[in-house]
């Protein structure tokens, strides 16, 4: 079981560093989701998880899977409510920086968070968007032993955005992000419009994500960031490389918010009285039938909030 393997790596870090902090995390991960209780939905006939203990350690694969589904589910509800109240259009935005070494990862993320605040403080952005949902994801390139932190962002805009003077082209998003990050190179930025998608099957998405985890032997951590989320650990043994990976990722993500809301999405999150998807209940996952919300759910259920393996196709 990958959770046991992650726990073994935390135990390895305790032996390496002498810090009880890692031993405590090992115990939590090892005990996570030992007992899962399900009930059958009388209307749909589907089995639903209704009782479990989740450790909520950032790198725990079980918690990461549930956290990612929870975040995506919350955002689906928020998008549905935003569609009812504001009838906006939606865009997905990805903001990246160059890969960094493990020693530089924590600082790189801090720099990105500061740059994010600068970016959404620029007049061109403030006057064009209605809000945002931001998720941090980190991929690792095991071949080069580097880390790639980046943001996935969901943004509501007025329907006139795409034809009006406030439309921000991809080249401008790139320029603004470069300026906010104070970079001496041009970063990769991707932006696309969200289109509606009919019908959604949360159970099917969950099964697909589980299958991908098994295929990739992935260990999860949001927006993205599900069970396919991360391949923090390579192989099935405790190794020095894996210990380094867990050390750097745990240090970089510890006590750090991986997701954030702004504008109308923050207001709606509060209106709906939603729990904290990062630290709150990881059991209940809702579903409904709003086409645009369905599309955002399917995309964001596959965002890897926190960590993900660097896949080279």
SS (H, E, C) 99-165: CECHHHHHHHHHHHHHHHHHHCCCHHHHCCCCEEEEEEEEEEECCCCEEEEEEEEEEEECHHHHCCC
Q: HSE of 196 in the Cβ direction (CA atoms, 13 Å)? A: 10
Q: What is the pTM of this model?
A: 0.79
Reported as half-sphere exposure (CB side, CA atoms, 13 A), residue 47 has a value of 7
pLDDT at 16: 97
pLDDT string in tens for the chain (313-residue length): 678 899 999 999 999 999 999 999 999 999 887 776 777 777 877 767 777 778 889 898 888 878 877 887 788 888 889 999 999 999 999 999 999 999 999 999 999 999 999 999 999 999 999 999 999 989 888 899 999 999 999 999 999 999 989 999 999 999 999 999 999 999 999 999 887 655 556 566 555 544 433 323 322 233 444 333 345 788 889 999 999 999 999 999 988 888 999 999 999 999 998 887 776 666 666 554 444 444 444 444 444 555 554 332 2
178 vs 169: CA distance, rounded Å:
14
pLDDT of residue 70: 82
Preceding omega of 57 cis (within 30 degrees of 0)? no
Q: Which pLDDT tens digit goes with each residue over 274-305?
A: 887 776 666 666 554 444 444 444 444 444 55
Give residue 283's pLDDT: 60
Query: How far apart, in whole angstroms, are the C-alpha atoms of residue 158 and residue 175?
Result: 22
Backbone angles phi, psi at 270, to 5 degrees: -70, -40
> Domain locations in the chain?
60-309
Please name which of 181, 155, 152, 186 lies closest in space to residue 168, comparing C-alpha atoms. 155
Contact by Cβ (8 Å): 119, 132? no
Instruction: Give the model's pLDDT for residue 98.
Output: 98
């Amino acid at each position: 079981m990958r959770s046991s393997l992650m726990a073994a790596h935390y135990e390895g870090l305790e032996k390496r560093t002498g810090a009880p902090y890692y031993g405590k995390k090992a115990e939590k991960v090892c005990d996570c989701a030992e007992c899962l209780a399900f009930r059958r939905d009388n209307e749909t006939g589907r089995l639903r998880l209704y009782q479990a203990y989740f450790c909520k350690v950032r790198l725990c694969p079980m918690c990461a899977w549930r956290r990612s589904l929870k975040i995506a589910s919350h955002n689906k509800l928020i998008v549905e409510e935003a569609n009812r109240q504001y009838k906006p259009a939606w865009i997905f935005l990805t903001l990246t920086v160059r890969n960094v070494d493990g020693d530089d990862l924590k600082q790189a993320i801090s720099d990105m968070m500061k740059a994010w605040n600068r970016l959404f403080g620029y007049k061109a952005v403030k006057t064009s968007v209605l809000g945002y949902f931001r998720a941090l994801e980190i991929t690792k390139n095991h071949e080069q032993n580097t880390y790639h932190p980046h943001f996935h962002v969901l943004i509501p805009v007025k329907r006139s955005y795409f034809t009006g003077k406030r439309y921000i082209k991809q080249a401008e998003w790139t320029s603004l992000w470069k300026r906010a990050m104070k970079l001496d190179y041009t970063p990769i930025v991707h932006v696309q419009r969200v289109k509606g998608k009919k019908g959604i099957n949360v159970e099917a998405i969950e099964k697909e994500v589980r299958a991908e985890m098994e295929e990739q032997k992935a260990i999860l951590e949001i927006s993205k960031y599900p069970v396919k989320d991360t391949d923090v650990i390579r192989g099935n043994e405790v190794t020095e490389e894996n210990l380094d990976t867990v050390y750097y990722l745990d240090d970089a993500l510890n006590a750090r918010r991986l997701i954030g809301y702004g504008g109308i999405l923050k207001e709606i999150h509060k209106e709906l009285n939603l729990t904290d998807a990062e630290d709150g209940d990881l059991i209940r996952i809702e579903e409904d039938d709003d086409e645009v919300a369905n599309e955002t759910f399917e995309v964001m259920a596959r965002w890897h909030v926190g960590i993900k393996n660097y896949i080279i196709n």
